[in-house]
Structure 1
Amino acid sequence: MPVPERRTPADIWAAVAIAVAVLVAAVLIWQNSQERHTVSTPAAVTVAAPPQAVVVPAALRELWQAPDRATAAPVTVAGVVVTGDGGTVLGRDPATGRESWRYQRDLPLCGIPAGWGSVIAVYRDRRGCGQAVQLAATGARMTARSGFADETVAISGNDSYLLVQGPRRLELWRSDLVRTLEYGFVDAPVNPNSQPRSHCTLLSAGLGTTGSRLAVLERCPGEAGTRLTFLNPSPKDASKPEEYGSTVLPETTDGGEPRLLLTTGEATAVYLPGSGAMPPRLGVYDNRAKLVSQHSLSAPLSPGARVQRAGYHYLLWTGRDTLALDPATLAPGWTAPETLGPGAIMAGRILIPVSGGIAVVDPVGGAQERRISFPRTTSPAGPITLDALGATVLEQYDGTLHALGG
């Protein structure tokens, strides 16, 4: 029989050294992992969405308020209101503001858009705003992704895709957070010539409500005006954009850049600043970048102008007034003067924020039916965006969410 091998002291010390090295490596990996820097306390059950209000409250008062700097508009999913501040996302009871669930990381939030019955928390790391985790209505983690992105991004979406757009590049993600399109600057391109324009500044972008078109406004070197481009949101190869149409808009001489306000997929509204004798106007383009109509505006849009969908209606806040845009043609219709934001739908009526309260407006003709007066705790410095969850009215402005009830 062969003589059994004997362990020498050197063998024992080598084994100990290997074990210690493995333990140290495991500790270092854990300390630097996402789990180490994440707090996740989901709710036990999903809170069902409350029934829609059948009447607009006769009176309103503030129920609660909370910091909400990660978004410019109220976010709701199922029966909870979602707020984001710093690196923390909270699901809250709409009537009390009490915490229902929490998701927290040691990274700053870039946005918390809602989509597909969930909330997508987008965080900024050393590669930009490319860290994302999808949270169920209970706050439980569903799926996640990580990638290269710009330092600051605008995040929006529809029922099909989520749009993450920065000044150099944009991406579209589908419901499992898999990328369906990248456009603009690519960090490490597999196909170097796949992007039609990789050195342009992306000014704004928008997804059609049908999900069939992505509209992009960009400023490219050597071009006299701003370029409007329509893309397939889900090409065969995510790294190879497919264009439906592209055009350079007329150059403006009175200052200011054109702005993409809204796209339905079939029609797209672009703000065109004044130029010489031409007043500021709303240009409507088809889905191949052809100008269909123009509508003069009484004054230039303010930098904070925004569009919000309210049921079947599109409401444009100009910085002074709220304009209703036709859902098919996007032509301006009625005007609600001296407002503080676009508005939202509740019980078949449009609620529009005004000084000292909220105006209740007929959605067909824009007539103000009544005004609900209440004192705001602070004087808004920026636009007020509204939403309603059951009988609770939500106002978001200046980095704070305010919940109102009867």
Structure 2
Amino acid sequence: MRPLRRRPVDLAVSAAIVVALVIAATAAWYFSSARRTTLTPATATPSAQPYPAGVPASLRQLWTARSADTRSPQITDAVVVTGDDRTVAGRDPATGRVLWSYRRSLPLCGVLAAWSPSTPTALSAYRNSRGCGEVTAIDASKGVRRFTRSSDADTAVTLQSDGGYVLSLGATRLETWGSNLVRGIEYGRVDARVKPDRGPHDGSGCRISSGMTSGDRVALVEHCTGDAGYRLTVVGAVVDKDEKISLYGTTVITSGTAFAPPVVVAMSESAVAVYDGGANSPEPTPPSIRAFDSDGNETGRHRVPGGPELPRGEVSTDAEGLATVWTGSATVAIDTTTMRPTFTVPDTRGPGVSVDGRMLIPDARGYLVVDAATGHRIGDLPVPREPGTDAPIVPALIGAQVVEQRGPTITAYGPATPR
């Protein structure tokens, strides 16, 4: 059989195909997110910090760093995670030295430390043309990529977790993710529905103002088309066997929407606490912590000092069976079983953090030390803070360090000697 003869035009077409493939591959690489992503892993795995042995005897400033894309200190068992200027970093808690970093060319929407100590992970949400849905999970100790996901999202989101599911919450939609970043539910605005019927109440036509997740449920405050007031809704964090959202309860809890909405400030597997400033009633009522069961039924209302709305940037904390919330004038400690306030500490600057039966609560001079059961003042820890923003001061503990977020700045204090 005679060999196939190649004419000049055949060679020219083959060359053109090769050139086109090279151009396409180069263009795909040039415009890909990978080209504009820099990941610098840790050179050594940091050691887990021991659980704090007691309240520090004294504090001094160790380091400070910008973290405009977090609302509270994000800590694992070994690192402090910061987010600023499109960069996520894992830092040594004693020195602030960057152990690993991850940077993208996209705007950074939020950072969350999750699933510690079992699988300590730093989650970062970046914004593209579809919103803050470009999510990467990074091993928080090693600084290596674990999982990624990309989905529709709002242009601003907050990230929250109780150690189980992660909640990504925007104004018109929310999602939950497991530790492998597989989605549990999508609620609210869904532009590309897989199933037309997602359940009896799927958040369509609603605007979400706050929410939390605990166990297998999500509690959120929203305002939906046709409602006279704000609504508290409790849904499942994962779809049911029919791939629908489980609805445990949804109730309008105010009679108007002219003022700031109530805020979900604490949640456990059995109860939900909401701060209500009282301004959306026909006749304004005193600010209160309103308690609800896990199906959204109100079980109590407890008056607390505060204003018609919580301070901008306020973040509640939860540890050792107590949640704390700063109302702008006082720190309120809430029993997470009953959602009843257990004590109130006036003239403070943020929520508290518990250690060894005591609680550290930030004030203008440093930290108050109070009994975690009664709120009785035991002592104080002065710290040198720069004058400036009146933003809430949100503390956390990692090893011997007290780490606080104040506006866009993270500051670490220590070392300490137990009392």
Range of TM-score over shorter length: over 0.9
Shift in Å at residue 3 of structure 1?
2.2
- Are residues 1:255 and 2:263 paired? no
Structure 2 CA distance for partners of 1:380 and 1:352, relative to 1, 3 Å = farther
In structure 2, C-alpha distance between the alignment counterparts of 1:362 and 1:297, rounded to whole Å: 19
**How does 1:31-46 map onto structure 2 within 5 Å?**
31-46=30-45
Among 109, 122, 125, the alignment partner of 2:125 is 122
**What is the aligned counterpart of 1:281 among 288, 291, 308?**
288
The separation in 1 between residues aligned to 2:404 and 2:89, in whole angstroms, is: 17
Once the two structures are superposed, residues 139-163 of structure 1 have per-residue CA deviations (whole angstroms, 9 ceiling, x without a partner) of: 1001110000000112101222010
- Say which of 336, 355, 364 aligns to 1:355: 364
Runs of at least 5 residues in structure 1 that lack an aligned partner in the other structure:
none
Which among 256, 264, 270 is matched to residue 266 of structure 1? 270
The superposition leaves residues 180-230 of structure 1 with CA deviations (integer Å, 9 ceiling, x where unpaired) of 10111101112234253411111111112xx13211211011111111111
The partner residue of 2:196 within 192, 196, 214 is 192
Identify which range, 6-15 or 135-144, moves more after superposition.
6-15
Match of 2:219 among 212, 215, 219: 215
3-state SS of 1:28 partner: helix
CA contact (8 A) 1:65 1:401 kept: yes
Summarize the Cα distance change of 1:295–1:308 in structure 2 as closer, same or farther, 3 Å threshold: same
Matches of 1:235 and 1:372, distance apart in 2:
47
Indicate conservation of the 8 Å contact 1:214/1:265, yes or no. Answer: no
Which deviates the most, 175-184 or 275-284?
275-284
1:25 is aligned to 24
Cα distance, 1:272 vs. partner?
2.4
1:370 partner letter: G
Question: What is the CA–CA distance in structure 2 between the aligned matches of 1:67 and 1:397, rounded to whole Å?
Answer: 10
Q: Helix, strand or coil for the counterpart of 2:42?
A: coil
Match of 1:172 in 2: 176
Q: Which moved more, 1:60-69 or 1:304-313?
A: 304-313
CA distance in 1, matches of 2:85, 2:397: 25
What displacement does 1:277 show?
Answer: 5.6
Percent identity among equivalent residues?
A: 39
Matching residue within 389, 395, 398 for 2:404 = 395
1:296 aligns with 2:296: no
Provide the alpha-carbon RMSD of the alignment: 1.8
- CA apart distance, 1:23: 0.8
- Partners of 1:180 and 1:235 within 8 A in 2: yes
Q: Aligned residue for 2:380?
A: 371
Distance 2:409 2:179 in 1: 28
Aligned residue in 1 for 2:210: 204
TM-score of the two chains, using structure 1 as the length reference: 0.94
Tell me if the contact between 1:217 and 1:226 (Cα under 8 Å) persists in the aligned partners: yes
Please identify, of 47-56 and 149-158, the stretch whose mean Cα deviation from structure 2 is larger. 47-56
Runs of at least 5 residues in structure 2 that lack an aligned partner in the other structure: none
CA contact (8 A) 2:265 2:275 kept: yes
May I ask how many residue pairs the two structures share in their alignment? 403
Q: Which amino acid aligns with 2:324?
A: L
Letter in 1 for 2:131: G
Contact kept in structure 1, 2:369 and 2:378, CA below 8 Å? yes
TM-score by length of 2: 0.92
Equivalent residue of 2:22, what SS?
Answer: helix
* TM-superposed deviation, 1:238: 8.7
**Contact 2:275–2:288 (CA<8 Å) still a contact in 1?**
yes
* Structure 1 pair 353–298 and aligned structure 2 pair: CA distance change class (3 A): closer
- Report the 3-state secondary structure (helix = DSSP H, G, I; strand = E; otherwise coil) of the residue aligned with 2:410: strand
CA contact (8 A) 1:227 1:246 kept: yes
For residues 74-98 of structure 1, what are the alpha-carbon distances to aligned partners after superposition, in whole Å with 9 as ceiling and x for unaligned?
Answer: 1112311111102111111111111
The verdict on how the C-alpha distance between 1:278 and 1:320 changes in structure 2, with shifts beyond 3 A counting, is closer
Q: 1:373, CA displacement in angstroms?
A: 1.3
1:5 aligns with 2:9: no
For 1:63 and 1:171, how far apart are their aligned partners in 2?
Answer: 37
- Whether the 8 Å contact between 1:212 and 1:232 is mirrored in structure 2 is yes
